Amino acid sequence: MINQESTPAVQSTAETTEHTESTQASRGPAIEAHDLSVTYGTETALESVDIQIPDRQITAIIGPSGCGKSTFLRCINRMNDRIDAAAVSGALSFKGTNVYDESVDPVALRRRIGMVFQHPNPFPKSIYDNVAYGLRIQGISSEIDARVKLALKRAALYEEVSDSLEKSALDLSGGQQQRLCIARAIAVDPDVLLMDEPASALDPIATAKIEDLIAELSEEYTVVIVTHNMQQAARISDRTAVFLTGGELVEYDDTETIFENPEHDRVEDYITGKFG
């Protein structure tokens, strides 16, 4: 009767994936998917995806709309749990733990994997309260002031708002709001930042600021960014994954390779703008 963060049925293949340690990245992958599929009722959103996302790098996910790139992103921190009809199969591990394991709490998971959304969505509270939100819900009560200040500085917003921390976050401009959302996400010091087209609702200047910020953040965080803007992916990411229609991961490689010498013709067609 009560839908307590219902856990979709998962065939636990975590044991096997855990030992296939990646050798190319020095620290091992932060996120690793193996045969990951997602269906909404009868519709397939992701089709058997295998991917290893390296630690402390920027991974871009590109593809035409409806290709399942957002679905994949939302699988990582189990935001898909909120949709009753979504069924996930396969394995997806975060630092070696299958996140769809019975014992994993999606709430705890999301505290380690922060998320920034397409449209800036600050809470209708003060700037300070927005950044302190994650700390407060985790019951952290020490040094909130210092942590809020640090997060705002890291998000390159502190200079602009330092004397109006008590003002409503809704009074900020769109770009500032999005940086506030990033500050809010990093205030709790997560391991991974998921970004779902974070700059698509912003003007070019705000977009440039966000891109600079993302590049800086990758020194400390693993960043996975979904974007429909290929130039953006080429500019900022270390690795790029291309999803094409039907939720299929067609190609995943270093960004340079993808954009200069893709293996598949379909990927080349997509990147050169022949479709999508």
Partner 1 sequence: MSSESNAARESLQRNDHVVRTERLYAWAIAGSAFLTILVTVGIVLALLGEALTFWSAVSPLSFFTGTKWSPIIDGEYGLLPLVSGTLIVTVCSALIALPTGLAAALYLSEYASERTRSFLKPALEILAGVPTVIYGYMALVYITPLFQGILPVSIRLIPPGLDPLPAFTLVIPSLQTFNVLSASIVVGIMIIPMVSSISEDALRSVPDELRAAAYGLGSTKYDVSTKVVVPAATSGIVASYVLALSRAIGETMAVTMAMGMSPQLPYFPNVFRNLAESSQTMTGAMVQIASADSLGGVTYEAMFALGLTLFLITLSMNVAAELVRRRFREVYQ
Partner 2 sequence: MAADGNTERTLSVDSRGRLLGLHATLFEAVLLGATLFGIVSLCILFGYIAFDAFRPLTASIRWYLLFAGTLVLPTTAFTLYARRRPAVRSANTKAFGAVGGALTVTLSTYIVVDALSPYDVVLCLLFGGYLPVVLWLIVRRTKRTPQTGLTIILAAVGGLAVAHGGYDLLRPIVGIAAQWIAYFGIVTLPVACGLWIFGRRRWSRQTARRAALSALGVVLLIVALALGLGIDPSFWVVVLSAFVIPVAVVIGEIGVTDPAGRIGSAGPFVLVGGLSAFLAVERQLGIDGPDGYLTATLLLESWHGLNASSAGVYPQIVGSIVTVGVMGVLAFPIGIGGALYLEEYAPRTGWSGRFATLLEVNISNLAGVPSVVYGLLGLALFRNALGFPTGIVLSAAGTLGLLILPIVVVSAQEALRSVPDSLREAAFGMGASRWQTLRTVVLPEAIPGMLTGTILALARAIGETAPLVIIAVATTKYSPPDGVLSSATVLPLQIFAARSNVDPAFRHGIVPAAAVVLLVLLLLMNTAAIVVRNRFDRRSQ
Q: Residue 56 corresponds to which tokens in the numbers above?
A: 């402390």
Smallest distance from partner 1 to CB 192, Å: 11
Phi, psi dihedrals of residue 3, rounded to the nearest 5°:
-90, 85
In whole angstroms, give the CA distance from residue 258 to residue 244: 14
Smallest distance from partner 2 to CB 137, Å: 5
Smallest distance from partner 1 to CB 100, Å: 11
Instruction: Kindly tell me the sign of the dihedral angle through the C-alpha atoms of 272, 209, 217, 98.
Output: negative
Smallest distance from partner 2 to CB 87, Å: 11
Residue 28 binding target from partner 1, partner 2, none, CB below 5 to 8 Å by type: partner 1
User: Are 127 and 161 in contact, with CB atoms under 8 Å apart?
Assistant: yes
User: Are 191 and 113 in contact, with CB atoms under 8 Å apart?
Assistant: yes
- Per-residue string for binding with partner 1, 11-50, x by CB under 8 A? -------x--x------x----------------------
Which residues are 39's β-sheet partners? 44, 87
Residue 137 binding target from partner 1, partner 2, none, CB below 5 to 8 Å by type: partner 2
Chain centroid to Cα 43, Å, comes to: 23
Residue 18 binding target from partner 2, partner 1, none, CB below 5 to 8 Å by type: partner 1
**Single residue of 95, 125, 228, 235 touching partner 1 by CB under 8 A:** 95
Core vs surface per residue 135-156: b (16+ CB within 10 A) or e: beeeeeeeeeeebbbbbbebbb
Smallest distance from partner 1 to CB 109, Å: 6
Residue 254 binding target from partner 2, partner 1, none, CB below 5 to 8 Å by type: none
Q: Which residues, at least 6 apart from 25, have a Cβ–Cβ distance to it below 8 Å?
A: 52, 54, 55, 57
Residue 175 binding target from partner 2, partner 1, none, CB below 5 to 8 Å by type: none
User: Are 200 and 228 in contact, with CB atoms under 8 Å apart?
Assistant: yes
Smallest distance from partner 2 to CB 115, Å: 4
**Single residue of 104, 170, 201, 215 touching partner 1 by CB under 8 A:** 104
At 188 the three-state DSSP class reads coil
The residues of the shown chain that bind partner 1, judged by CB under 8 A, are 1-2, 4, 18, 21, 28, 94-97, 99, 103-105, 107-109, 112
